[in-house]
Each structure stands twice: as C-alpha cells, then as structure tokens.
Amino acid sequence: MADGHTEQGAAAAVDEGRLWGRLMALAAVGARPDGGVDRPALSMQDAQARSLVAGWARDLGFAVATDPIGNLFVRRAGRDPDAAPVLTGSHLDTQPMGGRFDGAYGVIAGLEALHAMNDAGISTRRPVELVAWTNEEGARFQPGCMGSAVFTGALALETALAAVDRDGMTAREALAAVLAGEPEMAIRPADAAVHAYVEAHIEQGPVLEEEGLPLGIVTGIQGCRWFAVEVTGEAAHAGTTPRARRRDAFMAAHAIVAELRRALEDEADVTRFTIGRFEVEPGSPNTVPARVFFTIDLRHPDAARLTDLGDRVAPLAGSAAGGCAVTVTQTSASAPVVFADPVLRVLRDAAVRCGVPFRDLPSGAGHDAGYLAAMAPTGMLFVPCAGGVSHHPAESAAPADLATGARVLAEGLVRLAE
C-alpha cells in the first residue's frame, strides 16, 4: 500500500460511471412519477436507502454502524486506529417534492472517495468515515439537521426523539422501525471525536452554472430561524355570523402574514422569508376557521440582523392578530457559520492539484456542516446544478461535474487524514 501524500491516486481513481450509477440506484428509492424523489426522514424509503448504502459499504469491506439518533457511519480504517477520523457525508432524506441530488450526492460522493482510496491502494493515518445524517431536511420531523445537531451536542437526544410528525408518529417510533430492518447493525455512542468534516453538495443556486465553473468552495452558511405560529379564533356559521361577531383565525393569519412580509422583506432581497406550511381548521367551506397553524423560515447572513428580524416576529404577529389569540414559538435557530480556514485551504489546494477551476461562495441553504463546524474544522464543496433548481423534482446535475466534485473531495480527504 502506498501511504502519505498520494491523493492524486485517489482523485484519479474516482469513477464517474460508478458514482452516477449509485446515485440513480438511490434515486429509485422513493422515486416520484415526475422524476423527483420523496424519501421522508425515517420512512421505509429512508430505511431502504440506508440499507442500499450500507450494502455497498460492506461489499467494499468497510465497517458500518449507527448511533442513537440513527446517523449511519461507514468507516475506512486508518493506520492509527486511535486517531480521530476525518468525516464526510450528507443526508439521504429528501423534501416531499425533492430531487435526486440534494443530500444523496454528498453521501454517494463520499462513498466514491472511500472506494477510490481502496482502488488506488492508499492508506491514511486517520480513519476516513462516511456519514449519512438523520433528518437533515426537517420536512417530516422538526427541527432539521436533527442527526448532526444531536451528534454535536446542540440538541438533546430525548428532545429529538420526541418530535412528532403530522400523523402523530414520534421520531423515536419511526427510528425504531428503520433500525428493525438492520438488526445486526452495530450501535455506537451518540458522540465521537472528529478531526475534520467535509460535505459535498449541489449548489442549489445559480452562481456556478452562470459563471461556467465546475466547483465552489463554500465559505459559510447563512443563519436561519424557524417559528411555528398558532392563531386561535372561534368556529362559527359562515352564512349567519356577522363580521363584528367573528373571530376568524384565517383572516387574522392573513393580516399577520401581510404585516410580517411588509416588515421583513428588504429592498436588496437579502432576507429570506418563507411560509412553507399553512393549515386551516376545521377546514370546512362553511365554517369560520377556528385555528390556523403556519411555519416561518427566516434567513439572513448577518447574525445581528437575523436576531433583530426574528425578534420582531412575535410582536408583529400579536399586533396584527385583531380579536384572535396568537402564539409564536421558535422551533430552531442556527447562527450564520463561517467555515474553517485550514479546511478551506486544503480544499482549494486539492482543486488546484486536480486542475479544477473554482470560486469561493457562501451557502444560502442550510447543511449538517453548519452543526459540525462548532465541533471540528469544517468545509464544503459545491458542484453546479441545472438552473440552480433544488427542492424540486427537476433538480439535476451533470455526471461530469458530480465526478469532479468527488475527485476534489477524495483529494482533500486523503490530505486531511494524513
């Protein structure tokens, strides 16, 4: 076995066809008729995706384990078994109208990097581990980035497991069902030392494609606060109840949303303000709504600005609620993250050695790397995606770009593990 700085060997051993084949096999798990993927966190499709990845890993001779929140780890041993591993990965869950690459790419690119290290006969001092984090998307169970938040100690395991989906199932129950499918899988402790973390991902935005670049080195992630808003009015007959007697939860919610939009959206279009779920109860055409529930996803790259804007949500909602009651609960908060210089330098050097042009860019989307950054030096690589489209069934990326990202990833991982 060669050892030391033989990263070129790992990059050269990355196989574009193999990477694409695994991505497409994974995309078949939870495939939607429109070409997208619907693979909710801790669903049976998620379990199937995990088994697929675990099977590929075992076929390559790697040890596979899970932890109490269901993060999946694949370990390529290093020469020093006591050294903290270099970690790479992403997530296998998708949005309900999701695509084939968000999350899946980082997992499969990581597996390809490990496979390429084997093919190139490379040994590293540190172990290199691939991880598929549980419930990154937060679409089924809130908050998102659940697996990485528990792993890094930002979220208590019990709090995470108590999360409930729309059908009343807890994350604990869903995870137990997923793990029952792999009864022989080793369970490792919830926390572990990490030397460095690198996550590969599609950009989910238009910058790289517009500039004709195959690679982005991600400098950080903008901050994000999630809120749950509950507006309570009173059910009444739609045909007989005069306006003055109504406590219409929908009309109150409508006024709240209009007020929040006016106050939070900015001319420069930096603030991101999204209401992605809106539920009206009892949901009958001829009953005045008694209750509305909606979510807010608020993002900004500046920490102070995000704090200020987020802190205005509850007072603004209260002032616009009219005769209805309103409660605003913050369900998650992540401050803007700046990635670590040493990792960014390793990734830039890796790109140069691979002859891949790149630019630095920030991430507008959230990633598990945001939590890992609090625990270990962390970086991310972006590859272009068509039209910058993501969280959409039409999400797509070119096999050659995906392979380029995996080459730079492999190169960087070997360097970090030496």
Q: Which does residue 128 bind out of ligand GLV, Mn ion, none, counting CB within 5 to 8 angstroms by kind?
A: none
First CA to last CA distance, the chain: 14
Helix (H) or strand (E) holding 91: strand 86-91
Question: Which residue, 6 or 148, is less far from ligand GLV as judged by CB?
Answer: 148
Q: How far is the CB of 231 from ligand GLV (least distance, A)?
A: 24
Question: Which residue, 145 or 403, is less far from Mn ion as judged by CB?
Answer: 145
Binding mask 305-334 for Mn ion (x = CB under 5 A): ------------------------------
Nearest in space to 149 (alpha carbons), one of 364, 335, 372: 372
Q: How far is the CB of 276 from ligand GLV (least distance, A)?
A: 9
Question: Which residue, 106 or 366, is less far from ligand GLV as judged by CB?
Answer: 366
Q: How far is the CB of 91 from ligand GLV (least distance, A)?
A: 9
Q: Which does residue 223 bind out of Mn ion, ligand GLV, none, counting CB within 5 to 8 angstroms by kind?
A: none
> Which tokens is 168 given?
């009343």
* Residue 366 within binding range of ligand GLV, rule CB under 6 A: yes
Structural Rg of the chain based on CA atoms? 23
Distance between CA atoms of residues 105 and 158, nearest Å: 29
Binding mask 135-164 for ligand GLV (x = CB under 6 A): --x------x--------------------
Q: How far is the CB of 103 from Mn ion (least distance, A)?
A: 4
Distance between CA atoms of residues 142 and 86, nearest Å: 28
**Site size for Mn ion (CB under 5 A):** 2
Q: How far is the CB of 27 from ligand GLV (least distance, A)?
A: 17
Q: How far is the CB of 384 from Mn ion (least distance, A)?
A: 15
Question: Which residue, 165 or 248, is less far from Mn ion as judged by CB?
Answer: 165
Q: Which does residue 366 bind out of ligand GLV, Mn ion, none, counting CB within 5 to 8 angstroms by kind?
A: ligand GLV
Question: Which residue, 199 or 230, is less far from Mn ion as judged by CB?
Answer: 199
Q: CA distances (Å), 295 to each of 96, 126, 206, 311, 328, in order?
A: 16, 43, 26, 15, 9
* Residue 127 within binding range of ligand GLV, rule CB under 6 A: no
Q: Which does residue 103 bind out of ligand GLV, Mn ion, none, counting CB within 5 to 8 angstroms by kind?
A: Mn ion
| Preceding omega of 143 cis (within 30 degrees of 0) | yes
Question: Which residue, 102 or 297, is less far from Mn ion as judged by CB?
Answer: 102
Q: How far is the CB of 158 from Mn ion (least distance, A)?
A: 25
Helix (H) or strand (E) holding 279: strand 278-281
Question: Which residue, 204 or 232, is less far from ligand GLV as judged by CB?
Answer: 204
- The one-character DSSP state at 80 is -
Q: How far is the CB of 137 from ligand GLV (least distance, A)?
A: 5
What burial class does residue 104 get, using C-beta atoms within 10 Å of its C-beta: 0-12 exposed, 13-18 middle, 19+ buried?
A: buried
Question: Which residue, 152 or 232, is less far from ligand GLV as judged by CB?
Answer: 152
- The one-character DSSP state at 86 is E
Question: Which residue, 19 or 365, is less far from ligand GLV as judged by CB?
Answer: 365
Considering only residues 64 to 83 of the shown chain, the ones binding ligand GLV according to CB under 6 A are none
Cβ atoms of residues 186 and 75 within 8 Å: no
Question: Which residue, 6 or 95, is less far from ligand GLV as judged by CB?
Answer: 95
* Residue 365 within binding range of ligand GLV, rule CB under 6 A: yes
Q: CA distances (Å), 282 to each of 156, 235, 248, 279, 317, in order?
A: 34, 8, 12, 9, 22
Q: How far is the CB of 337 from ligand GLV (least distance, A)?
A: 12
> Which tokens is 413 given?
């991982």
Distance between CA atoms of residues 251 and 289, nearest Å: 9
Nearest in space to 13 (alpha carbons), one of 172, 123, 121: 121
* Residue 370 within binding range of Mn ion, rule CB under 5 A: no
Binding mask 95-114 for Mn ion (x = CB under 5 A): -------xx-----------
Q: How far is the CB of 105 from Mn ion (least distance, A)?
A: 9
Long-range contacts of 283-286 (CB under 8 A, 24+ apart): 285/238, 286/237, 286/238, 286/239
Cβ atoms of residues 111 and 57 within 8 Å: yes
Distance between CA atoms of residues 394 and 399, nearest Å: 15
Task: List residues near ligand GLV by CB under 6 A.
Answer: 137, 144, 365-366
Interacting residues with Mn ion (CB under 5 A):
102-103
